[in-house]
């Protein structure tokens, strides 16, 4: 769990160190597989660096820094999503002769074509191309690809400084 989103290396001769290390590494591998599948199926990546501030007791900023989501955060997120999906699927199954339970359920609709076209045109002004598509999976993949290109470009520019 090193923040690379790559699976943890196999254990050395002495195995992994630390209590529950084997179990945590197994969960990490599973979470990364779930995450990869989720993005392949059209989820939007919201990974980004967040700007955070430390303030003193008077509210004056004393330090600012970028905070990145770590593998541990992503592991928890994936299993929370898996639990939510499992609960929704099991509650959604109705036994023969029983009434269905009424629960709130959030489903993302296909993107509004006009709003997506506006985003596509706006992004094009900055050199980022989004393919117009009416399916949410294709739209999410286009946004993810564009965001990845942006981050790689920003990293290259910052490493030249």
Write down the pLDDT at residue 97: 87
CA dist 35 and 111 (Å) reads 22
Whether residue 78 sits in one domain with residue 37: yes
Name the residue range of residue 134's domain: 110-161
Whether residue 29 sits in one domain with residue 91: yes
pLDDT band at 135 (very low <50, low <70, confident <90, very high): low
Whether residue 127 sits in one domain with residue 96: no
Residue whose token pair is 């489903």: 107
Write down the pLDDT at residue 3: 59
Specify the number of domains making up the chain. Answer: 2
Whether residue 47 sits in one domain with residue 93: yes
pLDDT in tens, 70-97: 888 889 999 999 998 888 888 878 888 8
Whether residue 78 sits in one domain with residue 42: yes
- Give start and end residues of each alpha helix (H) in the chain: 21-40, 71-92, 113-124, 136-160
Residue whose token pair is 């009424």: 102
Q: What is the pTM of this model?
A: 0.58
Whether residue 38 sits in one domain with residue 78: yes
pLDDT band at 28 (very low <50, low <70, confident <90, very high): very high
């Amino acid at each position: 769990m090193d923040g690379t989103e790559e699976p943890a290396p196999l254990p050395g001769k002495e195995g992994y160190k630390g209590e529950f290390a084997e179990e945590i590494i197994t969960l990490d591998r599973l979470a990364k597989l779930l995450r990869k599948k989720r993005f392949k199926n059209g989820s939007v990546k919201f990974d980004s660096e967040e700007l955070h501030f430390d303030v003193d007791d008077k509210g004056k900023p004393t330090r600012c820094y970028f905070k990145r989501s770590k593998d541990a955060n992503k592991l928890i997120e994936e299993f929370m999503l898996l639990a939510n999906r499992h609960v929704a699927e099991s509650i959604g199954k109705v036994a023969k002769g029983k009434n269905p339970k009424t629960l709130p359920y959030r489903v993302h609709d296909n993107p509004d074509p006009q709003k997506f076209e506006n985003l596509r045109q706006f992004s094009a002004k900055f050199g980022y191309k989004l393919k117009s598509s009416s399916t949410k999976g294709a739209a999410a993949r286009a946004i993810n690809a564009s965001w990845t290109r942006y981050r790689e470009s920003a990293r290259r520019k910052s490493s030249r400084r």
